[in-house]
Amino acid sequence: MNAISIVIGAICILVIAYRLYGYFFTKKVLKINEDEPTPAHKLNDGQDYVPTNKWVAFGHHFAAIAAAGPLVGPILAAQFGYLPGLLWLLIGAVIGGAVHDAVVLFASMRRGGKSLSEVMKEELGPVAGFCTGLAMLFIITITMAGLSMVVLGALERNPWGTFAVAITVPIAMLVGIAYKKTGNLLVTSTIGFILLMIGVFIGPSLQGTWLGDLLTLERQTLALILPIYAFFAAALPVWLLLAPRDYLSSFMKIGVFIALIIGVFIVNPAIQFPAIIPDFLGGGGPVVAGPVWPFVSITIACGAISGFHAFVGSGTTPKMIDKWEDIRVVGFGAMLVECLVGIMALIAATALHPGDYFAINSSPAVFATLGMDTVNLAMLAEQIGMDLEGRTGGAVTLAVGMTYIFTGVQWFSHLSSYFYQFVIMFEAVFILTAIDAGTRVARYLIQDFVGEAYKPLKKTDWLPGNIFASALACFMWGYLLYSGDISSIWALFGVSNQLMASIGLVCGATIILKMADKRIYVLTCMIPLVYLYVTVNVAAYWMVKNVYWNSAAGGYSVLNGILSIVMVILGFIIVVTAVRKWKDLWNSPRFVKGKAIDVM
């Protein structure tokens, strides 16, 4: 098997799915038309609600949903071979992810651009709304820990990478200040990008210096620094750090993604992994502890279907859509493009020799028990200029895999170390951007919940409340980060994230039963919902029994077990409430003179 065959085949499937299933779902199931203006027009305030060109809205939505998940998840799931991850990416994205994103975006727009918790409150009542809001708080907290865990593996004992990432903070702040003062986006962004590249290229000069020694940090030290950084990022004005950093990181994201596609078509690397690795299908793998099912669908969340997308699809994006028809491009289409990102990450991982992959993604002690030998790892470590063994988390594997692909270009060997550190910076900066935004969202959720008991806390412009909520948010996910490992935290993130996707599909099924011309159309949401909900509960049970509450397991954590059980209970309450509503809708007279009544 070679990489080009997978890429071309995947692109054909995704294009056909968009053209046929995307049209059917938006036109026939959701009955999208232009009979009424979108919330962006009806509530246009020039700030949050602004009619936006569909391609600009697509760019915003794609940048927001495609964070570290589609890059890291497929790499970790490569433990089972390339086929399980590839199948789940394609099937999950077409049948589940694209439907989920489109229907959540549609539901929010039908309710004036409200958040998913508010939509659920109006659709299913206050109990479901409260449980959804609480689940969102749990999920965003666990998401921050899961994303941060990836950064630890990339920057541990890597002074070059740590410097390149750290320098982005003052650079982003400089860009933010300069743009606020001058209003010249082109000049400020160009200067910012040049400074980022300088940060990468001066990295080798740090070796052996006092600064290099200072930036050679262990995992636990980084686990303390990241939440402290996030506290200030969440509390600072959005224009000073969050917005310019997001903007600059988008350049790197597009550049790396295009480079990988070009590299695959130029080099056409062979996929060195087998389709299936039988030894780990039943569980016990060094990267993902659980069996291939349910954990391939838990490990690969973003890229196939992701509940995190519901935060965006019921957040900023529904306030920007210019025409109802744009839902197909922005909601359905962006998810399929993210699926392609996940497939490219899977190729980067499986282009490595399995021995090299497992040496990177497991500790040296565990790797020694696998009976495998490395093949190209020593050569890659020499070219890159750092030790690569035991750097778990997925970020290093992606950077090494991409570097290995490009070694097929003769002149590239001289740039291997720079390219590797550029990819590391790209991943870390993009993840930190998501952490900035996610911590701010967690702050808002905390202020909203605790504000019910203490009203001043609901005021987002009240400084003491902002400080308290930001500190609490950082402490919650920082504790999970400090006390966990990638196997346990990423599984916890996957379970919570896919539970959120289940909640989004519950909302979609409710809306379709209310308005679709044919009741059978509810299967578009019900099929992925049933699969995902069962998968989430089986995975949660397996992790609690075998890892979180198993004192002999490496990921033993009573807290993680409690969090898993709480989330499962919240999901159960929401599903039971929804089933009662569905029963009423199914039995209600919805047709007058042969036409279905829209009871939205």
Question: Per mean pLDDT, which of 42-46, 374-378, 453-457, 586-590 is the most reliable?
Answer: 374-378
Q: Which residues, other chains included, contact 413 with Cβ-Cβ below 8 Å and sequence gap of 6+?
A: 383, 407
The pLDDT of residue 5 is: 92
Sign of CA dihedral 131, 137, 143, 145: negative
Statement: the pTM of the whole predicted model exceeds 0.75: yes
Place 383 in a pLDDT band, splitting at 50, 70 and 90. Answer: confident
* Mean pLDDT within 97-106: 96
Percentage of residues of the chain with pLDDT beyond 90: 32
Is the bond preceding 294 in cis, omega lying within 30 degrees of 0?
Answer: yes
- 567 neighbors 495 (Cβ within 8 angstroms): yes
The pLDDT of residue 522 is: 93
Residue 56 has pLDDT above 80, yes or no: no
* Mean pLDDT within 339-349: 92
Distance CA(307)–CA(71), nearest Å, equals: 16
Q: How many CB atoms lie within 10 A of CB 473?
A: 28
The pLDDT of residue 591 is: 44
* Mean pLDDT within 518-527: 93
* Mean pLDDT within 401-410: 82
* Mean pLDDT within 144-160: 81
Which of 279-293, 472-486, 521-535 comes out lowest in average pLDDT?
472-486
The pLDDT of residue 516 is: 83
Query: Quick one: CA torsion of 129, 139, 498, 488, rounded to 10 degrees?
Result: -150
Place 598 in a pLDDT band, splitting at 50, 70 and 90. Answer: low
Place 47 in a pLDDT band, splitting at 50, 70 and 90. Answer: low
The pLDDT of residue 116 is: 87
Burial of 433 (0-12, 13-18, 19+ CB in 10 A): buried
**Tokens at 333, concatenated:** 């289409």
* Mean pLDDT within 454-478: 83
* Mean pLDDT within 570-584: 92
Q: Tell which wins on pLDDT, 521 or 599.
A: 521
* Mean pLDDT within 424-445: 75
Mean pLDDT of the chain: 85
Residue 581 has pLDDT above 80, yes or no: yes
- 355 neighbors 368 (Cβ within 8 angstroms): no
Distance CA(484)–CA(241), nearest Å, equals: 28
